[in-house]
Amino acid sequence: MSILKLVLFPDPRLQQKCDAVRVFDENLKNEIANMFDSMYHYKGIGLAACQVGIMKQIFIMDITSNENEKSMVDKKYCFINPQIVKYSDQKSKYEEGCLSFPLQNAVIHRPESVLIKFQDENGTWHEKEAYGLAATCIQHEFDHLNGITMPDRVNSIMKKSNMIEKAKKIKKERENT
């Protein structure tokens, strides 16, 4: 398989909604395999298709390396055409990172658990409940599919502004090397 190039903010694709997947074929399976190879290469635990230039409603997740996680571990997941059908009333906060915002983290408050409905790479529908880090990762990647980026979830205007400026600077530096 191959490693796909990361799309870095402020690339406009990160602020666009992704298209629904309608065809479940070998090409889709290859794209998903390339996404997993890319996510592992860049040392992420989640990756939305738009972060590697694929404008489809797909995201992947693998949190097997987190020993404290009790929800959705020991398996990698691919979510196609996902719908979050229920959010918990209880909130939690995690310090989130994002492959499209290199070297940056932000504390973000999100619902502690979610119920997600999605298709797998064969088009079969599933429903899963996720808690803790898994729920946070799902919500973060789901945001990407809807054109919502990490700074959009930051409460502080100053922090948001600083994140955007730093992302622009990092992208420019990487383009010049």
Binding-site residue numbers for Fe cation are: 98, 140, 144
Q: Can you give the three-state secondary structure of 11-44, one letter per residue? A: CHHHHCECECCCCCCHHHHHHHHHHHHHHHHCCC
The H-assigned helical ranges of 83-156 are: 132-145, 150-153
| Residues 6 or more apart in contact with residue 57 via CB below 8 angstroms | 18, 19, 20, 21, 49, 80, 81, 82, 145
Contact call for residues 126 and 118 (beta carbons, < 8 A): yes
- Active-site residue (options: 121, 141, 165, 173): 141
State yes or no: is 165 an active-site residue.
Answer: no
Q: Is 106 helix (H, G, I), strand (E, B) or coil?
A: strand
Binding-site residue numbers are: 98, 140, 144
Contact call for residues 151 and 15 (beta carbons, < 8 A): no
Which tokens is 28 given?
């889709």
The catalytic residue positions are 141
